[in-house]
Chain A
Amino acid sequence: MSISFASALGIHDKALSFRAQRAEVLANNMANADTPNFKARDLDFAAVLAEQSSKAQGGQFQLNRNNSRHIEADGFPVGDSSLLYRTPAAPSLDQNTVDLQLEQASYAENSVQFQASFTLLNSKFKGLIGAIRGE
């Protein structure tokens, strides 16, 4: 059995980078809490997961090959389908859809989930180190 980092770490490294990305989106929402016409956004975990697993199967828009001499091309995603707009709970006078309390709660939740992903990833590395040392 060959050890590759991709199979050893599984989904956890991608989960960690997703949490970092989501932190960026939520931070941008909170920084723009007083910007007129700003629309709050969020990343959808399920959509990102589906995108990643479809990428693993060859991409969303793969070229069809019906001849052996056709060149194989990697699939490419169209835009970022996972970056969605938040549905505002209450309308505001300046068309801003940021609910600061909601964003803070999401940011804190995302931070805890980041730590959870980190702990899982760390335990994977600890397992690998243990296997290398033969402990």
Chain B
Amino acid sequence: MSLASVFNIAGTGMSAQSTRLNTISSNIANAETVSSSVDKTYRARHPVFATMFQNAQQGSDSLFADQDQSGSGVQVLGVIEDQSSLTPRYEPNHPAADANGYVYYPNVNVVEEMADMISASRAFQTNVEMMNTAKQMMQRVLTLGQ
């Protein structure tokens, strides 16, 4: 029954949004984590979302595979690291400073992360409301003939 799959779709949506919230909180928590080398410094992480389809065995590289179906939720393909440049700061008195007196700060933009957090939170709420509405519709059907 297709109403039951609304629950699955909302579930995948909530799971994806909570993964996004997780990466955001990790980014904000590590916004000031300094390091003495470029390689060891924390980089901002972002999840990559993709649509899930029912007949995934047909291969996702076909352009026309998803024409006849609407998809069945959202999945997180992976978490990528932001490759933009880090911020070196001249702080010779810092315990983590390198030989030239520089420490490296992560490329986390806290303002951007906060805006992303609100967006993820709202999207999560939308999924919950969607599930609630589907539940009401199903409960209504159970009273058929009464």
Contacts and interface: CB of A to CB of B under 8 A. Distances in A.
Interface of A: 16-17, 20-21, 23-25, 27-36, 38, 41, 79-80, 83, 100, 104, 107-108, 111, 114-115, 118, 121-122, 125-126, 129
Interface stretch (B23-31, B86-94, B100-108, B119-127): B119-127
Contacts of A114: 137, 140
27 contacts: A16-B141, A20-B1, A23-B2, A23-B133, A23-B134, A24-B70, A25-B70, A27-B10, A27-B134, A28-B51, A30-B127, A31-B10, A32-B13, A33-B123, A34-B20, A35-B51, A36-B48, A83-B69, A83-B70, A100-B123, A107-B133, A111-B133, A111-B136, A111-B137, A115-B140, A122-B143, A126-B145
Secondary structure at the A interface, as helix, strand, loop or mixed, is helix
A104 B132 CA distance: 13
A31 B74 contact: yes
B137 A23 contact: yes
Interface size grouping (class) on chain B: 35 or more
B137 to A, nearest CB: 5
Interface in B4-18: 5-6, 9-10, 12-13, 16-17
B144 A17 contact: no
A23 B3 contact: yes
B41 interface: no
A10 B80 CA distance: 53
